[in-house]
Structure 1
Amino acid sequence: MAGNAVTSTNLTTITGAVALSPGTTMSGFPPGMLRGGVHKNDAEAKDEKADAVAAYNDAAGRTPTATIPPNLGGGATITPGVYDTSGGVFELTGTLTLDAMGDPNAVFIFQADSALNTARVSNIDLANGAQEDNIIWQVGNSATLGPYSTFRGNLLALNDVMVMKGTAMYGRAMALNNVVAIDGTSILPTTRVTLPNNPPTTTTLASSPNPSRKDEPVTFAAKVSGNFEGVGPTNEVLFKDGSAVIGSAMLDDFGVATFTTAELTRGVHPITAVYVGGGTAVGEAWVDFAPSESLVVNQQVLNR
């Protein structure tokens, strides 16, 4: 989404709709490829612009959880919250991990009064259920995504967004007042801006035995169902007793994760299984299955 123009050079791919308002300028398509609709200052584009402005103002108006150093990444992990930086500029180098701590609805908001810059081959990883749709980068001026970087989240810049050669962006690029410019590659793979594709999943949970006795092993089996072009979910399932994570396991080839424990104390334990979501290659595409959480299984533990 851009207020003035969307420009592309060389080989680029945008997967998702493009909206412009009040401007109407688009250039570089082809050779750039569009996989979605185009709206130039029509009713839908104006609605998209209004929604983007509202989202920007909401993010900018949040009270920060913490003020953090401007240099992000370098192997650092950040948990959900609202973050600003004293200098007004975020610089991303190396790898930054956003850890949702088993909560698929966890929100991350980064407030940069001036700029966001990502270094060449920098990377954002998502862990424990973090979702691109729940990550907001609010930038008071302009943002530049460096060459061959991997970026995740919704980028809301007041002025310009520059996506440089070879970048893979999973999220939305929004330049409210000016230009989204995408610099493509001369050979495949292209520079990519991809609207998150999160096929839904369903997680069910069973336990055995139930009831059990204190110090007796109990096995919890979580089944995760989902499908995209014949491919099913992969990755990790967290097992929780109330809000506390008590174990984890990877899905097997049948979409089942099992966890066994003999550590449950006497009483009733509300156990849930949380599929944290995960990426799967489907041909040349990369699909991120959506997280899901099972219904509660009340595990009753009796005295010996």
Structure 2
Amino acid sequence: MTRLRLAVARRWRTTVGRAALALLLTCATTLLVDVIAPVSARAETVPVPLGSAADFAVLAGTTVTNTGASAVTGDLGVSPGTAVTGFPPGQINGAIHSNDGPAVQAQADLAVAYDNALTRTTTDTISDGLGGTTRTTGVYNSAGGTFGIAGTLTLDAEGDPNAVFIFKATSTLITAADSAVELINGAQACNVFWQVGSSATLGANSTLRGDILAFTSITVGAGLVVDGRTMAINGAVTLDTSTITRSSCAVPGELSITAPETADLGGGAPGSAVSANLGSVTVTDDRLLSVAAWTATVVATDFVTTGSPVQTIANVNVSYWSGPATSTTGIGTFTSGQPTPQDAQTLDVERTAFTLTGGRGSNSATWDPVVSVQLPLAAVVGSYTGTVTFSVA
């Protein structure tokens, strides 16, 4: 009788009768990682270069004023003005730069960034009202010269964490109270930019995501949250019980694969076949690529006994099928190497276990493969151990 059970450790062995063979299968996890630099979705939508201004959450030309218990994460600066008032009661998790070297340089870099955004090639000219709309990566120009948000603006990266959104307003940016900018499908606040030709006014209790590059001034309403930066070239930045958190892009991770350490295929008589599910095998891709693809492979060693003389079952007798994915996350096409038992392949050579094509951003796939071993008629009774290795690249 065949017994299907996962072993806890390599020390675990099966006691078998005289007419049976026991197979203890070890699943070794091998990681092969290709490190690929992230690329932008479009040449015209690379991020706006902020230079040293990226260190600042708040940057003004004349003054920074605050009312109430505002919280600023990142540096706060002003130049060529020198006045910073309202801290405390406002709190700063960063440094204050009042027309010193860092503030002067940040303002110079902000001017460069502003011109960079201003001169970007427009991919679409849209209506002034952004609330209730969804936008994908691109450079957007306001048809009327202003942008307003009432309700929710959704920015959809379509799975590309490098997607860039640039909004260009000749005049003003005005957001209504309780409005919001939401990010979905991998969009990041660090890749959202608001180029404002005059001033920005942000409504109370609203949420804005991205970096505001205003030519004149910025007024932040009471209770407002900014996931990004408020930076004005010539005028003031005014806060009121606001939360300003300098955004940063997620750090790309790795491509990895995990598999159970051991599995017990059970026992069987010579001439029979034994098989079992190995348990979950998972590929996790956190490289944050705009174009993601990977291939997971599998191969087995011979199965051998301990002691002397060593008995061997050649790996040509070991077959495998991945089956369908038990779960997937992210965008792309996930394909099983062997979706059904009829597609099983021997593991005497490396086989494709699963693939991802046409992916974007973070993704993962999990499957529960089956390994089967045909026991030769000439096989000698004993406990046999083999190793199955999964790799991904």
TM-score after normalising by structure 1: 0.70
Secondary structure of the residue that 1:274 maps to in structure 2?
A: strand
Identity over the aligned pairs, expressed in percent? 41
Paired with 1:128 and 1:237, the residues of 2 have a C-alpha distance of: 13
Q: Which residue of structure 2 lines up, in the alignment, with residue 292 of structure 1?
A: none
After superposition, the C-alpha distances for 1:120-152 in whole angstroms (9 at most, x for unaligned) are: 111111122211111110000000110110110
After superposition, where does 1:227-238 map in structure 2 within 5 Å? Answer: none
Paired with 2:158 and 2:338, the residues of 1 have a C-alpha distance of: 21
Q: What amino acid does structure 2 have at the position aligned with 1:120?
A: A
Q: Which residue of structure 1 lines up, in the alignment, with residue 106 of structure 2?
A: 48
Pairwise CA RMSD of aligned residues? 3.5
1:123 corresponds to which of 167, 175, 180:
180
1:174 aligned onto 2:225:
no
Paired with 1:93 and 1:23, the residues of 2 have a C-alpha distance of: 33
Offset of residue 10 of structure 1 = 1.4
Offset of residue 169 of structure 1 = 0.4
Q: Which residue of structure 2 lines up, in the alignment, with residue 26 of structure 1?
A: 84
After superposition, the C-alpha distances for 1:71-94 in whole angstroms (9 at most, x for unaligned) are: 1021x2111110011211101011
Paired with 1:135 and 1:224, the residues of 2 have a C-alpha distance of: 21
Structure showing the higher strand proportion among its residues: 1
1:89 corresponds to which of 146, 149, 162:
146
Q: What amino acid does structure 1 have at the position aligned with 2:197?
A: G
1:3 aligned onto 2:61:
yes
Q: Which residue of structure 2 lines up, in the alignment, with residue 103 of structure 1?
A: 160
Offset of residue 158 of structure 1 = 0.5
Report if aligned partners of 1:155, 1:173 keep a CA contact under 8 Å in 2: yes
Report if aligned partners of 2:335, 2:356 keep a CA contact under 8 Å in 1: no
Q: What amino acid does structure 1 have at the position aligned with 2:74?
A: G
Offset of residue 54 of structure 1 = 0.4
Report if aligned partners of 2:188, 2:249 keep a CA contact under 8 Å in 1: no
Q: What amino acid does structure 2 have at the position aligned with 1:203?
A: E
Q: Which residue of structure 2 lines up, in the alignment, with residue 161 of structure 1?
A: 218
Secondary structure of the residue that 1:87 maps to in structure 2?
A: coil
2:131 corresponds to which of 73, 91, 113:
73
2:283 corresponds to which of 203, 210, 221:
221
Q: Which structure 1 segments of 5+ residues have no match?
A: 185-190, 209-217, 226-235, 251-258, 277-295, 299-304
Aligned residues: 242
Paired with 1:248 and 1:118, the residues of 2 have a C-alpha distance of: 38
After superposition, the C-alpha distances for 1:35-94 in whole angstroms (9 at most, x for unaligned) are: 1101111111111001110000000011110001111021x2111110011211101011
Paired with 2:184 and 2:194, the residues of 1 have a C-alpha distance of: 18
Rg bigger for which structure?
2
Q: Which residue of structure 1 lines up, in the alignment, with residue 344 of structure 2?
A: none
Secondary structure of the residue that 2:108 maps to in structure 1?
A: helix
Secondary structure of the residue that 1:72 maps to in structure 2?
A: coil
Q: Note closer, same or farther for the CA distance 1:220–1:112 as it changes in structure 2 (3 Å cut).
A: same
Secondary structure of the residue that 1:44 maps to in structure 2?
A: helix
Q: Which residue of structure 2 lines up, in the alignment, with residue 183 of structure 1?
A: 240
After superposition, the C-alpha distances for 1:215-263 in whole angstroms (9 at most, x for unaligned) are: xxx97521659xxxxxxxxxx9999558xxxx9528xxxxxxxx96449
Offset of residue 200 of structure 1 = 3.2
Report if aligned partners of 2:224, 2:243 keep a CA contact under 8 Å in 1: yes
1:152 corresponds to which of 198, 203, 209:
209
Offset of residue 7 of structure 1 = 0.3
Report if aligned partners of 1:52, 1:156 keep a CA contact under 8 Å in 2: yes
Report if aligned partners of 1:203, 1:273 keep a CA contact under 8 Å in 2: no
Q: What amino acid does structure 1 have at the position aligned with 2:130?
A: L
Report if aligned partners of 1:18, 1:36 keep a CA contact under 8 Å in 2: yes
Q: Which residue of structure 2 lines up, in the alignment, with residue 195 of structure 1?
A: 246
Higher relative contact order (CA 8 A, sep 6+): 2
